[in-house]
Amino acid sequence: MSEAIAGFGLGLRTDHYGDFIAARQPVDWLEIISENYMVAGGKPLHFVEQIRRDYPMVMHGVSLSIGSLDALDPAYLGQLKALVERLEPAWVSDHLCWTGVAGVNLHDLLPLPYTAEALRHLTARVDQVQEFLRRRLVLENVSSYVSFTADEMSEWEFIGQLVARTDCQLLLDINNVYVSSINHGFDARTFIDAIPPAAVRQIHLAGHETHPDILIDTHDQPVCQAVWDLYAYALRRIGAVPTMIERDDNIPPLALLIGELACARELAERSLGQRELAR
């Protein structure tokens, strides 16, 4: 049942179950948060299975904790695999981060040190997950607010080496690149330029909050112009990639998100046209 996915999608949220069940929406595919459905039954799973019949889906997790020093949780992996077999998503993604230690889930996406030791640790764990799921794992760059004095390479160099070692794929979050670039003072286009284009499986667009000394990745605002501009740059560099808009709080009516998705479609058409002319 797993279909090839292209075009433009949205994150499926409970606020919009009724809209997707009532009528076909101008959305090419949907992304679900894996942990919301990793149960044997219940109303959310009932709705998502109904919607799955009409829309291609991908699964996006927030608790794999691929970068933690704790052993990977076999119960979590088992539930994840069961959901994969149930919904047959086009791909499964999570975040390039750690979310807990000593068995405690901190419910945050915490950054990794970009060191050779961390890379070796992460490589083994990605290989383990990919072998267990029998599919390539898709990992997302996270936004960050601190860096480590022990860092031995840039985030983009770290990601490039991980892809080369594991053959995993990337979920390129354009908003996260922008947020981190402002918080840490690097050129966001340098990040985009260094990412191996063939490894990018999906793109996220989202909003953030602006504070005097920091940007916070909140997913509760529309996509800002700087992120739209960086998305256009990424498409000219990488080419066409399935793209979706994330909204996790302050969720508007579905029609407003579909309008924002239409902006992504129009921008992608222009940017990819420019890419072709430049080749």
Which candidate, 62, 114, 52, 49, places its Cα nearest to that of 93?
Answer: 62
| Tens digits of residue pLDDT in 163-193 | 999 999 999 999 999 999 999 999 999 999 9
Q: For residue 2, what pLDDT is reported?
A: 66
Region 147-157: what's the mean pLDDT?
97
Q: Is the pLDDT of residue 206 over 60?
A: yes
Q: Is the pLDDT of residue 57 over 70?
A: yes
Structural domain spans, the chain: 8-278
Task: Determine contact, residues 254/25, Cβ cutoff 8 Å.
Answer: yes
Task: Determine contact, residues 236/276, Cβ cutoff 8 Å.
Answer: no
| Tens digits of residue pLDDT in 84-111 | 999 999 999 999 999 998 888 888 999 9
Q: For residue 197, what pLDDT is reported?
A: 97
Region 130-155: what's the mean pLDDT?
97
Region 138-167: what's the mean pLDDT?
97
33 phi, psi to nearest 5 deg: -80, 115
Q: For residue 50, what pLDDT is reported?
A: 97
Question: What residues contact residue 229 under an 8 Å CB cut-off, 6+ apart?
Answer: none
Q: What token pair was written down for 232? A: 């256009």
Q: Is the pLDDT of residue 1 over 70?
A: no
Which CATH code of 3.20.20.150, 3.40.50.300, 3.30.70.3270, 3.40.640.10 fits the domain covering 8-278? 3.20.20.150
| Tens digits of residue pLDDT in 10-54 | 999 999 999 999 999 999 999 999 999 998 889 999 999 999 999
**Angstrom distance (rounded) from CA 194 to CA 214:** 24
Q: For residue 271, what pLDDT is reported?
A: 98
**Angstrom distance (rounded) from CA 114 to CA 254:** 39
**Angstrom distance (rounded) from CA 178 to CA 191:** 10
Q: Is the pTM of this model over 0.75?
A: yes
Supply the angle between the helices 116-133 and 74-87 in degrees, to the nearest 10.
50
DSSP code string of 188-239: HHHHHHHS-GGGEEEEEE---EE-SS-EE--S-SPPPHHHHHHHHHHHHHH-
**Higher-confidence position of 261 and 105:** 261
If you average pLDDT over every residue of the chain, what do you get?
Answer: 96
Local structure of residue 104 (DSSP, 8 states) = E
95 phi, psi to nearest 5 deg: -110, 145
pLDDT above 90 covers what percent of the chain? 94
pLDDT above 70 covers what percent of the chain? 99
Region 230-240: what's the mean pLDDT?
98
